[in-house]
Amino acid sequence: MRKRYRILAELVALTLVLAACAGPATTQAPTSEPTAPPATEEPTAEPTEAEPTTIKIGIVTVLTGGAGFLGIEQRNMAKVTVDLFNEETGLNVELVEGDDMLSPDEGKIVADRFVADPDIYAVIGPAGSQVCESTQPIFEEAGLAHITPSCTDVSLTDPGTATFFRPIPKDDDQAKTDATFMVENLGAGSVFLLDDQSSYGVGLTDGLEQELTALGATVERDSVTPEETDFSSVVTAVLGAETDVVFIASQIAGQITALAVQLREQGYEGIYFTGDGGFDLTWVEPSGDAANGTYVSTFAPDPHDIPQMEEFVARFQEEIDDKFGPFAAGSALATRIALEAVQRCLEAGDLSRACVRNEVAATNMEESILGFPVSFGPGNQIEGSEFTLYQVEDGKFALVTE
Protein backbone atom coordinates (compact mmCIF):
# COMPACT_ATOMS: atom_id res chain seq x y z
CA MET A 1 0.00 0.00 0.00
CA ARG A 2 2.76 2.41 0.98
CA LYS A 3 4.45 1.73 -2.32
CA ARG A 4 1.20 2.59 -4.23
CA TYR A 5 0.85 5.92 -2.37
CA ARG A 6 4.47 6.76 -3.05
CA ILE A 7 3.98 6.22 -6.81
CA LEU A 8 0.82 8.35 -6.74
CA ALA A 9 2.61 11.18 -4.94
CA GLU A 10 5.42 11.12 -7.45
CA LEU A 11 2.95 11.39 -10.30
CA VAL A 12 1.26 14.43 -8.72
CA ALA A 13 4.63 16.09 -8.15
CA LEU A 14 5.64 15.44 -11.74
CA THR A 15 2.37 17.00 -12.93
CA LEU A 16 3.02 20.20 -10.93
CA VAL A 17 6.56 20.45 -12.27
CA LEU A 18 5.35 20.13 -15.84
CA ALA A 19 2.69 22.80 -15.24
CA ALA A 20 5.31 25.17 -13.86
CA CYS A 21 7.60 24.65 -16.81
CA ALA A 22 4.80 25.40 -19.26
CA GLY A 23 4.58 29.03 -17.96
CA PRO A 24 1.42 31.07 -17.74
CA ALA A 25 -1.47 30.08 -19.91
CA THR A 26 -1.81 32.07 -23.10
CA THR A 27 -5.03 33.86 -24.05
CA GLN A 28 -6.49 34.33 -27.54
CA ALA A 29 -5.54 37.70 -29.04
CA PRO A 30 -8.54 39.98 -29.16
CA THR A 31 -10.08 40.14 -32.54
CA SER A 32 -10.12 43.61 -34.16
CA GLU A 33 -13.37 45.36 -35.01
CA PRO A 34 -14.65 44.21 -38.34
CA THR A 35 -13.44 46.55 -41.07
CA ALA A 36 -16.32 48.42 -42.74
CA PRO A 37 -16.65 47.73 -46.43
CA PRO A 38 -15.40 50.58 -48.59
CA ALA A 39 -18.06 53.19 -49.10
CA THR A 40 -19.69 52.97 -52.45
CA GLU A 41 -19.87 56.25 -54.42
CA GLU A 42 -23.28 57.75 -54.91
CA PRO A 43 -24.46 57.18 -58.44
CA THR A 44 -23.64 60.19 -60.56
CA ALA A 45 -26.76 62.18 -61.41
CA GLU A 46 -27.62 62.59 -65.01
CA PRO A 47 -26.30 65.96 -66.26
CA THR A 48 -29.01 68.60 -66.46
CA GLU A 49 -29.18 71.49 -68.82
CA ALA A 50 -27.98 74.73 -67.27
CA GLU A 51 -30.61 77.28 -66.51
CA PRO A 52 -30.72 79.85 -69.32
CA THR A 53 -29.07 83.14 -68.53
CA THR A 54 -31.65 85.81 -67.78
CA ILE A 55 -31.25 88.48 -70.42
CA LYS A 56 -33.48 91.52 -70.42
CA ILE A 57 -33.56 94.69 -72.40
CA GLY A 58 -35.82 97.53 -71.36
CA ILE A 59 -37.93 99.89 -73.42
CA VAL A 60 -38.92 103.23 -71.94
CA THR A 61 -41.40 105.18 -74.03
CA VAL A 62 -44.77 106.94 -73.89
CA LEU A 63 -47.59 104.40 -73.70
CA THR A 64 -50.44 106.58 -72.46
CA GLY A 65 -51.78 110.05 -73.15
CA GLY A 66 -51.96 112.07 -76.33
CA ALA A 67 -48.70 110.70 -77.72
CA GLY A 68 -49.37 107.12 -76.63
CA PHE A 69 -49.76 106.00 -80.24
CA LEU A 70 -46.09 106.76 -80.76
CA GLY A 71 -44.78 104.64 -77.90
CA ILE A 72 -47.20 101.77 -78.45
CA GLU A 73 -45.94 101.51 -82.00
CA GLN A 74 -42.35 101.48 -80.73
CA ARG A 75 -43.07 98.94 -78.00
CA ASN A 76 -44.87 96.59 -80.35
CA MET A 77 -42.14 96.65 -82.99
CA ALA A 78 -39.47 96.14 -80.32
CA LYS A 79 -41.37 93.04 -79.20
CA VAL A 80 -41.53 91.73 -82.78
CA THR A 81 -37.80 92.37 -83.20
CA VAL A 82 -36.98 90.49 -80.00
CA ASP A 83 -39.20 87.56 -81.01
CA LEU A 84 -37.53 87.25 -84.42
CA PHE A 85 -34.07 87.52 -82.85
CA ASN A 86 -34.82 84.81 -80.28
CA GLU A 87 -35.97 82.48 -83.06
CA GLU A 88 -32.88 83.27 -85.11
CA THR A 89 -30.34 82.76 -82.31
CA GLY A 90 -32.00 80.39 -79.86
CA LEU A 91 -31.58 82.94 -77.08
CA ASN A 92 -34.32 83.93 -74.66
CA VAL A 93 -34.24 87.71 -74.44
CA GLU A 94 -37.08 89.33 -72.54
CA LEU A 95 -38.45 92.82 -73.24
CA VAL A 96 -39.32 94.87 -70.15
CA GLU A 97 -41.46 97.95 -70.73
CA GLY A 98 -41.90 101.22 -68.86
CA ASP A 99 -44.30 104.11 -69.52
CA ASP A 100 -42.70 107.54 -69.17
CA MET A 101 -45.93 109.35 -70.18
CA LEU A 102 -43.70 111.73 -72.17
CA SER A 103 -42.79 113.29 -68.82
CA PRO A 104 -39.19 113.92 -67.73
CA ASP A 105 -40.06 113.07 -64.11
CA GLU A 106 -41.85 109.84 -65.01
CA GLY A 107 -38.93 108.97 -67.25
CA LYS A 108 -36.57 109.22 -64.29
CA ILE A 109 -38.75 106.81 -62.30
CA VAL A 110 -38.63 104.23 -65.09
CA ALA A 111 -34.89 104.75 -65.57
CA ASP A 112 -34.25 104.16 -61.85
CA ARG A 113 -36.29 100.95 -61.99
CA PHE A 114 -34.35 99.66 -65.00
CA VAL A 115 -31.00 100.55 -63.46
CA ALA A 116 -31.93 98.62 -60.30
CA ASP A 117 -32.57 95.41 -62.27
CA PRO A 118 -29.17 93.73 -62.81
CA ASP A 119 -30.56 91.53 -65.58
CA ILE A 120 -31.27 94.53 -67.84
CA TYR A 121 -28.24 95.01 -70.09
CA ALA A 122 -29.50 97.72 -72.48
CA VAL A 123 -32.47 100.05 -72.87
CA ILE A 124 -34.43 101.17 -75.94
CA GLY A 125 -35.65 104.74 -75.60
CA PRO A 126 -36.80 107.13 -74.46
CA ALA A 127 -38.98 108.47 -77.29
CA GLY A 128 -39.23 112.18 -76.48
CA SER A 129 -36.20 114.49 -76.34
CA GLN A 130 -37.24 116.00 -73.01
CA VAL A 131 -37.28 112.51 -71.46
CA CYS A 132 -33.99 111.53 -73.09
CA GLU A 133 -32.49 114.64 -71.54
CA SER A 134 -33.75 113.85 -68.03
CA THR A 135 -32.67 110.19 -68.07
CA GLN A 136 -29.22 110.59 -69.61
CA PRO A 137 -27.43 111.18 -66.26
CA ILE A 138 -29.15 108.20 -64.62
CA PHE A 139 -28.15 105.73 -67.32
CA GLU A 140 -24.67 107.23 -67.57
CA GLU A 141 -24.00 106.77 -63.85
CA ALA A 142 -25.14 103.15 -64.07
CA GLY A 143 -23.12 102.46 -67.23
CA LEU A 144 -26.30 101.26 -68.95
CA ALA A 145 -26.51 101.82 -72.70
CA HIS A 146 -29.74 103.38 -73.98
CA ILE A 147 -30.52 103.70 -77.68
CA THR A 148 -33.22 106.15 -78.69
CA PRO A 149 -35.51 105.38 -81.61
CA SER A 150 -36.86 108.95 -81.90
CA CYS A 151 -35.21 111.62 -79.68
CA THR A 152 -33.90 114.22 -82.12
CA ASP A 153 -32.79 117.20 -80.01
CA VAL A 154 -29.31 118.23 -81.18
CA SER A 155 -27.84 118.71 -77.70
CA LEU A 156 -28.35 115.06 -76.76
CA THR A 157 -25.27 114.06 -78.76
CA ASP A 158 -23.43 117.36 -78.50
CA PRO A 159 -21.40 116.50 -76.53
CA GLY A 160 -23.50 113.51 -75.46
CA THR A 161 -22.67 110.80 -72.94
CA ALA A 162 -20.85 107.47 -73.10
CA THR A 163 -24.11 105.55 -72.70
CA PHE A 164 -26.53 107.44 -75.00
CA PHE A 165 -26.75 106.34 -78.65
CA ARG A 166 -28.81 107.80 -81.51
CA PRO A 167 -29.09 105.75 -84.73
CA ILE A 168 -31.38 108.34 -86.36
CA PRO A 169 -30.82 111.89 -87.65
CA LYS A 170 -31.25 114.90 -85.36
CA ASP A 171 -33.25 118.13 -85.42
CA ASP A 172 -30.74 120.19 -87.37
CA ASP A 173 -30.81 117.53 -90.11
CA GLN A 174 -34.60 117.74 -90.10
CA ALA A 175 -34.56 121.53 -90.10
CA LYS A 176 -32.28 121.61 -93.12
CA THR A 177 -34.36 119.01 -95.01
CA ASP A 178 -37.66 120.76 -94.27
CA ALA A 179 -36.49 124.34 -94.86
CA THR A 180 -34.86 123.45 -98.17
CA PHE A 181 -37.97 121.63 -99.35
CA MET A 182 -40.28 124.48 -98.31
CA VAL A 183 -38.28 127.14 -100.13
CA GLU A 184 -36.90 125.30 -103.14
CA ASN A 185 -39.70 122.80 -103.85
CA LEU A 186 -42.80 124.54 -102.50
CA GLY A 187 -41.69 128.11 -103.26
CA ALA A 188 -42.46 129.32 -99.73
CA GLY A 189 -41.46 132.91 -99.01
CA SER A 190 -43.00 133.04 -95.51
CA VAL A 191 -43.43 130.36 -92.86
CA PHE A 192 -45.30 130.32 -89.54
CA LEU A 193 -43.63 128.11 -86.91
CA LEU A 194 -45.53 126.75 -83.90
CA ASP A 195 -43.94 124.67 -81.11
CA ASP A 196 -45.34 122.91 -78.04
CA GLN A 197 -42.70 124.32 -75.64
CA SER A 198 -40.99 120.91 -75.34
CA SER A 199 -37.29 120.32 -75.96
CA TYR A 200 -38.28 118.64 -79.20
CA GLY A 201 -40.60 121.40 -80.38
CA VAL A 202 -38.42 124.37 -79.48
CA GLY A 203 -35.23 122.76 -80.76
CA LEU A 204 -36.77 121.89 -84.10
CA THR A 205 -38.37 125.28 -84.69
CA ASP A 206 -35.15 127.05 -83.65
CA GLY A 207 -33.30 125.10 -86.32
CA LEU A 208 -36.01 125.74 -88.90
CA GLU A 209 -35.98 129.48 -88.25
CA GLN A 210 -32.23 129.59 -88.77
CA GLU A 211 -32.33 127.55 -91.98
CA LEU A 212 -35.34 129.39 -93.44
CA THR A 213 -33.83 132.78 -92.73
CA ALA A 214 -30.59 131.73 -94.39
CA LEU A 215 -32.63 130.74 -97.47
CA GLY A 216 -34.32 134.15 -97.58
CA ALA A 217 -37.76 133.28 -96.19
CA THR A 218 -39.50 135.35 -93.52
CA VAL A 219 -40.51 133.63 -90.29
CA GLU A 220 -43.29 134.15 -87.73
CA ARG A 221 -43.30 132.14 -84.48
CA ASP A 222 -45.59 131.22 -81.62
CA SER A 223 -45.79 128.62 -78.84
CA VAL A 224 -48.56 126.68 -77.12
CA THR A 225 -48.65 124.36 -74.11
CA PRO A 226 -48.88 120.60 -74.69
CA GLU A 227 -52.46 120.66 -73.35
CA GLU A 228 -53.70 123.47 -75.59
CA THR A 229 -56.21 122.67 -78.35
CA ASP A 230 -57.80 126.07 -79.04
CA PHE A 231 -55.70 127.62 -81.80
CA SER A 232 -57.99 130.53 -82.70
CA SER A 233 -55.35 133.13 -81.87
CA VAL A 234 -52.74 131.22 -83.85
CA VAL A 235 -55.04 130.96 -86.87
CA THR A 236 -55.74 134.68 -86.66
CA ALA A 237 -52.00 135.39 -86.66
CA VAL A 238 -51.44 133.03 -89.60
CA LEU A 239 -54.17 134.64 -91.67
CA GLY A 240 -52.95 138.10 -90.80
CA ALA A 241 -49.38 137.32 -91.83
CA GLU A 242 -50.53 135.56 -95.02
CA THR A 243 -47.86 132.92 -94.58
CA ASP A 244 -47.35 130.28 -97.26
CA VAL A 245 -46.64 127.41 -94.86
CA VAL A 246 -47.68 126.60 -91.30
CA PHE A 247 -45.38 124.21 -89.48
CA ILE A 248 -46.30 122.62 -86.14
CA ALA A 249 -43.70 120.86 -84.00
CA SER A 250 -45.81 118.78 -81.60
CA GLN A 251 -45.93 115.19 -80.44
CA ILE A 252 -49.61 115.33 -79.51
CA ALA A 253 -51.94 113.92 -82.17
CA GLY A 254 -54.91 115.92 -80.87
CA GLN A 255 -53.04 119.19 -81.31
CA ILE A 256 -52.03 118.44 -84.88
CA THR A 257 -55.64 117.54 -85.70
CA ALA A 258 -57.07 120.62 -83.99
CA LEU A 259 -54.78 123.05 -85.80
CA ALA A 260 -55.37 121.41 -89.19
CA VAL A 261 -59.14 121.58 -88.80
CA GLN A 262 -59.22 125.13 -87.41
CA LEU A 263 -56.95 126.45 -90.16
CA ARG A 264 -59.20 125.05 -92.90
CA GLU A 265 -62.37 126.13 -91.12
CA GLN A 266 -61.09 129.70 -91.08
CA GLY A 267 -60.23 129.61 -94.76
CA TYR A 268 -56.46 129.10 -94.73
CA GLU A 269 -55.39 127.87 -98.16
CA GLY A 270 -51.67 127.54 -97.60
CA ILE A 271 -49.59 124.42 -96.90
CA TYR A 272 -49.75 122.51 -93.62
CA PHE A 273 -46.50 120.86 -92.50
CA THR A 274 -45.51 118.79 -89.44
CA GLY A 275 -42.42 117.15 -88.05
CA ASP A 276 -41.99 113.47 -87.19
CA GLY A 277 -44.56 113.74 -84.39
CA GLY A 278 -47.19 113.97 -87.12
CA PHE A 279 -46.38 110.74 -88.93
CA ASP A 280 -49.38 108.86 -87.59
CA LEU A 281 -52.84 108.23 -88.99
CA THR A 282 -54.47 108.81 -85.59
CA TRP A 283 -54.48 112.54 -86.33
CA VAL A 284 -55.10 112.17 -90.07
CA GLU A 285 -58.34 110.20 -89.80
CA PRO A 286 -60.23 112.64 -87.51
CA SER A 287 -58.93 115.60 -89.54
CA GLY A 288 -60.71 114.40 -92.67
CA ASP A 289 -60.18 116.61 -95.72
CA ALA A 290 -58.24 119.12 -93.62
CA ALA A 291 -55.31 116.69 -93.52
CA ASN A 292 -55.03 116.17 -97.27
CA GLY A 293 -51.91 117.70 -98.76
CA THR A 294 -50.07 117.93 -95.42
CA TYR A 295 -46.32 117.32 -95.57
CA VAL A 296 -44.59 115.30 -92.85
CA SER A 297 -40.86 114.88 -92.30
CA THR A 298 -39.63 111.83 -90.45
CA PHE A 299 -36.31 110.46 -89.20
CA ALA A 300 -36.91 106.99 -90.65
CA PRO A 301 -38.88 105.67 -93.62
CA ASP A 302 -42.08 103.70 -93.23
CA PRO A 303 -41.14 100.00 -92.78
CA HIS A 304 -43.66 99.12 -95.50
CA ASP A 305 -41.35 100.89 -97.97
CA ILE A 306 -38.20 98.97 -96.92
CA PRO A 307 -37.52 95.54 -98.51
CA GLN A 308 -35.32 94.48 -95.56
CA MET A 309 -38.29 94.98 -93.20
CA GLU A 310 -40.62 92.60 -95.03
CA GLU A 311 -40.39 89.88 -92.37
CA PHE A 312 -40.86 92.43 -89.58
CA VAL A 313 -43.94 93.88 -91.28
CA ALA A 314 -45.48 90.44 -91.75
CA ARG A 315 -44.82 89.42 -88.14
CA PHE A 316 -46.13 92.76 -86.82
CA GLN A 317 -49.36 92.29 -88.72
CA GLU A 318 -49.61 88.70 -87.50
CA GLU A 319 -48.88 89.40 -83.82
CA ILE A 320 -50.15 92.95 -83.33
CA ASP A 321 -52.59 93.60 -86.19
CA ASP A 322 -52.24 97.37 -85.96
CA LYS A 323 -51.11 100.28 -88.10
CA PHE A 324 -47.56 101.56 -87.82
CA GLY A 325 -45.01 103.81 -89.49
CA PRO A 326 -41.48 105.19 -89.03
CA PHE A 327 -41.64 105.11 -85.24
CA ALA A 328 -41.75 101.34 -85.63
CA ALA A 329 -38.75 101.45 -87.98
CA GLY A 330 -36.62 103.44 -85.55
CA SER A 331 -37.60 101.08 -82.74
CA ALA A 332 -36.69 97.99 -84.78
CA LEU A 333 -33.28 99.44 -85.59
CA ALA A 334 -32.50 100.48 -82.00
CA THR A 335 -33.63 97.10 -80.67
CA ARG A 336 -31.59 95.16 -83.20
CA ILE A 337 -28.46 97.16 -82.36
CA ALA A 338 -28.89 96.29 -78.67
CA LEU A 339 -29.57 92.62 -79.35
CA GLU A 340 -26.55 92.16 -81.58
CA ALA A 341 -24.35 93.81 -78.95
CA VAL A 342 -25.70 91.40 -76.31
CA GLN A 343 -25.03 88.46 -78.62
CA ARG A 344 -21.41 89.52 -79.21
CA CYS A 345 -20.86 89.81 -75.46
CA LEU A 346 -22.30 86.34 -74.89
CA GLU A 347 -20.00 84.91 -77.54
CA ALA A 348 -17.05 86.60 -75.83
CA GLY A 349 -18.10 85.17 -72.46
CA ASP A 350 -18.66 88.62 -70.97
CA LEU A 351 -22.34 89.43 -70.57
CA SER A 352 -22.13 92.69 -68.67
CA ARG A 353 -23.42 96.22 -69.01
CA ALA A 354 -19.91 97.46 -69.71
CA CYS A 355 -19.42 94.97 -72.54
CA VAL A 356 -22.82 95.71 -74.07
CA ARG A 357 -22.13 99.44 -73.94
CA ASN A 358 -18.79 98.97 -75.65
CA GLU A 359 -20.27 96.69 -78.29
CA VAL A 360 -23.07 99.14 -79.07
CA ALA A 361 -20.43 101.83 -79.56
CA ALA A 362 -18.55 99.47 -81.90
CA THR A 363 -21.64 98.84 -84.08
CA ASN A 364 -20.67 98.71 -87.74
CA MET A 365 -23.53 97.52 -89.94
CA GLU A 366 -22.78 97.70 -93.63
CA GLU A 367 -26.50 97.37 -94.25
CA SER A 368 -28.96 97.59 -91.39
CA ILE A 369 -32.52 96.28 -91.33
CA LEU A 370 -33.56 99.73 -92.55
CA GLY A 371 -31.35 99.42 -95.61
CA PHE A 372 -28.64 101.94 -94.72
CA PRO A 373 -25.30 101.50 -92.92
CA VAL A 374 -25.05 102.19 -89.18
CA SER A 375 -22.00 103.28 -87.24
CA PHE A 376 -21.60 105.89 -84.53
CA GLY A 377 -19.48 109.01 -84.74
CA PRO A 378 -18.76 111.81 -82.24
CA GLY A 379 -21.29 111.96 -79.43
CA ASN A 380 -22.55 108.48 -80.42
CA GLN A 381 -24.55 110.04 -83.24
CA ILE A 382 -25.18 107.95 -86.33
CA GLU A 383 -23.15 109.08 -89.31
CA GLY A 384 -24.63 109.98 -92.68
CA SER A 385 -28.41 109.78 -92.15
CA GLU A 386 -31.22 111.90 -93.63
CA PHE A 387 -34.87 112.72 -93.02
CA THR A 388 -37.61 111.42 -95.31
CA LEU A 389 -40.63 113.36 -96.56
CA TYR A 390 -44.21 112.12 -96.94
CA GLN A 391 -47.47 113.78 -97.97
CA VAL A 392 -51.02 112.92 -96.91
CA GLU A 393 -53.03 111.76 -99.92
CA ASP A 394 -56.56 110.44 -99.48
CA GLY A 395 -56.01 109.75 -95.80
CA LYS A 396 -52.69 107.93 -96.28
CA PHE A 397 -48.99 108.82 -96.29
CA ALA A 398 -47.34 108.81 -99.70
CA LEU A 399 -43.55 108.95 -100.05
CA VAL A 400 -42.29 112.20 -101.60
CA THR A 401 -39.68 111.29 -104.18
CA GLU A 402 -38.92 114.65 -105.84
Q: Give the domain ranges of the chain.
A: 55-169+303-385, 172-298
Q: Does domain 55-169+303-385 have CATH number 3.40.640.10?
A: no
Which is nearest to 63 in space by CA: 97, 88, 92?
97
How confident is the model at residue 49, as a pLDDT?
42
Q: Which of 293, 323, 305, 284 is nearest to 388 (CA)?
A: 305
Assess whether the previous peptide bond of 159 is cis (omega < 30° from 0): yes
Give the containing element (helix H, strand E) for 265: helix 253-265
Query: For residue 159, what pLDDT is reported?
Result: 93
Could you list the pLDDT tens digit for every one of the 402 residues in the chain?
433 334 333 433 333 333 333 343 333 344 444 444 444 444 444 434 444 468 999 999 999 988 888 899 999 999 999 999 999 999 999 999 999 999 999 999 999 999 999 999 999 999 999 999 999 999 999 999 999 999 989 999 999 999 999 999 998 899 999 999 999 999 999 999 999 998 888 989 999 999 999 999 999 999 999 888 899 999 999 999 999 999 999 988 899 999 999 999 999 999 999 998 888 888 999 999 999 999 999 988 889 889 999 999 999 999 888 778 888 999 999 999 999 999 999 999 999 999 999 999 999 999 999 989 999 999 999 998 788 999 999 999 999 976
Give me the pLDDT at residue 360, please. 98
Q: Look at residue 200 in the predicted model and tell me its pLDDT.
A: 83
The model's pTM: 0.74
Cα-Cα end-to-end distance for the chain: 161
Q: What distance in Å separates the CA atoms of residue 323 and residue 401, rounded to the nearest whole number?
A: 23
pLDDT at 402: 63
pLDDT for 123: 98
Among the four given CATH numbers 3.30.465.10, 3.30.420.40, 3.40.50.2300, 3.40.50.720, the one describing domain 172-298: 3.40.50.2300
Residue 227 confidence (pLDDT): 85
Paired residues of 296 in beta bridges:
274, 390
Identical fold, 55-169+303-385 and 172-298: yes
Name the amino acid, one letter, at 83: D
